Amino acid sequence: MPISCSICDGKAILKRPKTGDALCKECFYYAFEEEIHKTIIDAKLFTSGETVAIGASGGKDSTVLAYTMKELNQRYNYGLDLVLLSVDEGITGYRDDSLETVKRNQIQYDLPLKIVSYEDLYGWSMDSIVKQIGLKNNCTFCGVFRRQALDRGAMMMKVDKIVTGHNADDIAETVIMNVLRGDIGRLRRCTAITTGTDGALPRCKPFKYTYEKEIVMYAYFKKLDYFSTECIYSPNAYRGFARAYIKDVEKIRPSAIIDIIHSGESLSVKKDVRLPVQGTCERCGYMSSNPVCKACVLLEGLNRGLPRLGIGKTHKERRKADEAEKAKKAAENLNSEDQKSCDNSSDQSNNRTCVSSCQCSTDISKLTLNSKPDVSKLDF
Ligand code: SF4
Ligand code: ZN
């Protein structure tokens, strides 16, 4: 006997992963979109007249985000100017293909698109970084550079806000990872729906409560054009374990994803716990809890042939580099007292690369590890 849609009594064709409700396609679309609208309204994410950049990778999350943002903006008159913003990490055989999807989305959704590349911003593509450092820690470089690249692209486009496709599963994974690492500072911030409000460009996550499985279903039934291959450099084992754990508990208890997010939101930090103090990088002005931001340290490591600089918190190479930097500054001070015109000295050339390529501010971007829709799980 056919199962009826729990909203309209029509023929149900799927079971919602989040609630277990049997729904027809149209009622699923409606429930999915209305929940995102409610999230946007409850959190007051936007103000009419704002220009909002949608971080677009061509993957399922950002493609569904672009589609639903455009729909809801029209349906509910948000009054937003939407644009697509992509980062080209320079990964041959992966990002070049996914950017082709974004270019098609640009035409399909009739939205302006800007692409910023690591090569242009930092002088290094991920292909060249991996050639130098191998496949260990490559995601650290990529994540830190992408965070800044997205901000810099957004500033070039003069947008007011960035939205990213982080979904509920991603946020639950991050909560678990931060618990396992004991990273209280990040644990406190990682469930915020908007970050970067303290001076830099705000970033919002309209999919904060949206399940990944439902995003896949939505993209599949709507036949959206998205890219579903994994990055060729993706050894991100730590997140992979957190992801596998979340998927396992979700099988037993689907509400576990939202429950983990709520647990993260409700955590309070004891008064005597020392949290990192946010300041700005003395080289590039980007937000940083250290005198020099992580991107500048990583870039310096690449440019000086010390790729392990900045990997780990107190790595001895960083200490060595700090000492070398201090010695260099002391020598420069001595020289400048004797000889006042050293502006173009070769000693400053390392810094020049960094300073000219790092002029931004703000927060985190997304590791879009796409997965193919498992269509067998979509129907009853
Ligand atoms: Fe960058 Fe993601 Fe690929 Fe790692 S898996 S190299 S973070 S695109
Ligand atoms: Zn910096």
Those residues whose C-beta lies under 8 Å from the C-beta of residue 237, and which sit 6 or more positions away, are none
Ordered per-residue pLDDT tens for the chain, 380 residues: 789 999 998 999 999 999 999 999 999 999 999 999 999 999 999 999 999 999 999 999 999 999 999 999 999 999 999 999 999 999 999 999 999 999 999 999 999 999 999 999 999 999 999 999 988 889 999 999 998 899 989 999 999 999 999 999 999 999 999 999 998 888 888 999 998 876 569 999 999 999 999 999 999 999 999 998 889 998 767 888 999 999 999 999 999 999 999 999 998 877 777 777 778 888 888 778 888 888 889 999 898 888 777 776 545 655 666 666 667 667 666 555 443 332 322 232 332 222 222 222 222 233 222 333 333 333 32
Measured CA to CA, the distance from residue 366 to residue 373 in angstroms comes to 19
Neighbours of 330 (CB within 10 A): 10
Residue 248 CB contacts under 8 Å (≥ 6 apart), including other chains: none
Cβ–ligand 1 distance for 140 under 6 Å, the answer: no
pLDDT at residue 357, rounded to an integer: 27
| Amino acid 66: pLDDT | 98
- Asked if residue 137 has its Cβ within 6 Å of ligand 1, the reply is no
How far apart CA 147 and CA 17 sit, in angstroms, is 31
What pLDDT, on the 0 to 100 scale, is given for residue 170?
96
Q: How far is the CA of 140 from the centre of ligand 1 (A)?
A: 8
- Which tokens go with 67? 């589609």
Ligand 1 pocket residue status of 236, Cβ below 6 Å: yes
- What pLDDT score was predicted for residue 198? 65
CA distances from 206 to 31, 36, 220, 296, 323 (A): 15, 6, 20, 30, 44
Cite the annotated binding site for ATP by residue number: 55-57, 61, 87, 165, 170
The closest alpha carbon to 130, from 57, 233, 230, 229, belongs to 233
Ligand with smallest separation from the Cα of 353: 2
Residue range(s) of every CATH 3.40.50.620 domain in the chain: 38-266
pTM: predicted TM-score of the whole model, two decimal places: 0.81
Paired tokens of 78: 């948000």
Instruction: Work out the number of other CB atoms within 10 angstroms of the CB of residue 237.
Output: 9
Atom of ligand 1 nearest to the CA of 231: 3
Q: What atom of ligand 1 comes closest to residue 235's alpha carbon?
A: 5
Question: Is 3.40.50.620 the CATH number for 38-266?
Answer: yes
Whether the CB of 367 sits within 6 Å of ligand 1: yes
The pLDDT value recorded for residue 166 is: 97
Residue 300 Cβ contacting ligand 1 at under 6 Å? no
| Distances, alpha carbon 374 to alpha carbons 68, 124, 217, 225, in Å | 22, 36, 9, 16
Report which protein residue has its CA nearest ligand 1's atom 2.
367
Ligand 1 pocket mutation pick from 92, 128, 138 by most atoms within 8 angstroms of CB? 138
Residue nearest to atom 8 of ligand 1 (CA): 231
Q: Which two tokens stand for residue 266?
A: 């409700």
Max distance between CA atoms of the chain, in angstroms, equals 92
Would the CB of 164 count as within 6 Å of ligand 1?
A: no
Q: Closest by alpha carbon to 162, among 191, 119, 193?
A: 193
CA–centroid distance, residue 57 to ligand 1 (Å): 12
Please indicate whether residue 233, judged by its CB atom, sits closer than 6 Å to ligand 1.
yes
Distance CA 120, CA 361 (A): 18
Nearest CA to ligand 1 atom 1: 142
Q: How far is CA 158 from CA 81, 85, 153, in A?
A: 11, 12, 9
List residues forming the annotated binding site. 55-57, 61, 87, 165, 170
